[in-house]
Structure 1
């Protein structure tokens, strides 16, 4: 496929072949996570508004303490 793309004289055909090659590389790519990160958090009942965003980071701008 790569040789065809290199040899193509038609720009549109060449572009299409290179796009197909790029897509095949993406489709066939092996992905292996190198590590898994875990976060453990203990929050007292009087801590309110403690939330994690979708990436797992604490959003502290809404955290408050209630009297106990």
Structure 2
């Protein structure tokens, strides 16, 4: 966590929020979630989080399809 602070001007809150957005997209619920922090997100950050969530989803699908092909042959 301390590595992230040195890289960005705003300490890890933006990256943490992007992670929360990714989790929200993937269907996870987080109870300690501040709505005012969520409103501070810019559209670019939400877009990046969406892209990461989609990349993770496609990676999981690709792994499952590879496993399916290996088991069939």
One fold, TM greater than 0.5? no
Q: Higher strand proportion, which one?
A: 1
Q: TM-score range by the shorter chain?
A: 0.3 to 0.5
Query: Going by fraction, where is helix more abundant, 1 or 2?
Result: 2
Tell me the TM-score normalised to structure 1 length: 0.37
